[in-house]
Structure 1
Amino acid sequence: MQSIKVADYLNHRPVTFTVEMRIESAVEKLLQSAQSGGPVIDNNKRVIGFLSEQDCLRKMLEATYQNESHSVVGDVMTANPVCVSPHDSIVQIADKMTVNKPKLYPVVGEEGVLMGVISRANVLLAIDKHLHDAYASGHRFV
């Protein structure tokens, strides 16, 4: 099962953000995509941050108290987020996801360029498919 790689299950077309994007626009993108967050990229598509629903919720709530919002993604994103490689094992990522907070990791290639994202749902799908294939071929798990 260690041979199942992130590259085989990542989402190649994730929602992404830029540092100068207004929070309201970022929230709309999140809601339309049904992603719980997404990478913040620079002009060269390198991952420089991560924006989560929780980050947006804090800022939007703050804006309701002040009756205005002037925030941009760069104000609330997590800089230098944990990223994974397309060559990483799905099992290793699953282990990380059981103890760490991120529900979604940016997947980066050479020089930190975004290739996609891998979510808990993608990891579950990979493990489920592997188990179904193993059962169909007669392998038993003890």
Structure 2
Amino acid sequence: MVSIQVKDYMNHYPVTFTSEMVVEEAALRFLKTKQIGGPVVDANYHLIGFLSESDVLAKMLQSIYHNEHVTDVAALMRKEVLSVKPYDSVIELAQTMLQNKPKVYPVVDDDGNLLGTICRNDVLHAIDKHMRSSFKS
């Protein structure tokens, strides 16, 4: 079977966040981009965490009930992030996605610098495209 690599199906322009960003600004980024999660990066674009739409929603809902200002991204982001490399197999990632919960995976180079993201829909698209081309042959 031909190797289907992450780099060929990843989103090269994902929504990103910084740890200092306030949650209200993060919420606006989610609303504008319609993405469900995104990497948190430092000034050098090194992956330092991950923020999901549900992380932001939970905190904003809590702030409504308590009538208090919400926090920054650093307090909400997950610091343990599952990521993939651009040369990883989409098929192996699909198998991982069936066992793990993340719907979006940051794609990083060997130094941990963010290159993009890949989500379940991207993986489904890659497998569908591969299957369709295999059936035509």
Deviations 1:67-108 (CA, angstroms, capped at 9, x unpaired): 122300001000031110001100011011112110000000
CA distance in 2, matches of 1:129, 1:82: 25
In the other structure, the counterpart of 1:136 is 136
In the other structure, the counterpart of 2:58 is 58
In the other structure, the counterpart of 2:40 is 40
1:2: how far off? 5.8
RMSD over aligned Cα atoms: 1.0
In the other structure, the counterpart of 2:85 is 85
SS in 2 for 1:38: strand
Q: Is the Cα–Cα contact under 8 Å of residues 60 and 70 in structure 2 kept in the other structure?
A: no
Who wins on radius of gyration, i.e. which is larger? 1
In the other structure, the counterpart of 2:23 is 23
1:20: how far off? 0.6
In the other structure, the counterpart of 1:140 is none
CA distance in 1, matches of 2:40, 2:2: 29
Q: Flag structure 2 segments of 5+ consecutive residues without an equivalent.
A: none
CA distance in 2, matches of 1:32, 1:118: 19
Which runs of structure 1 show a deviation greater than 3 angstroms over 4 or more consecutive aligned residues? Answer: none
Amino acid at match of 2:94: A
SS in 2 for 1:111: coil
Amino acid at match of 2:27: V
Deviations 1:55-74 (CA, angstroms, capped at 9, x unpaired): 11110111001112230000
Q: Flag structure 1 segments of 5+ consecutive residues without an equivalent.
A: 138-142
CA distance in 2, matches of 1:15, 1:62: 24
In the other structure, the counterpart of 2:105 is 105
Identical residues among aligned pairs (%): 50
CA distance in 2, matches of 1:133, 1:28: 39
1:130: how far off? 0.2
1:115: how far off? 0.3
In the other structure, the counterpart of 2:5 is 5
TM-score (norm 2): 0.96
Aligned residues: 137
Of 28-37 and 40-49, the range deviating more from structure 2: 28-37
CA distance in 2, matches of 1:6, 1:62: 37
Of 13-22 and 66-75, the range deviating more from structure 2: 66-75
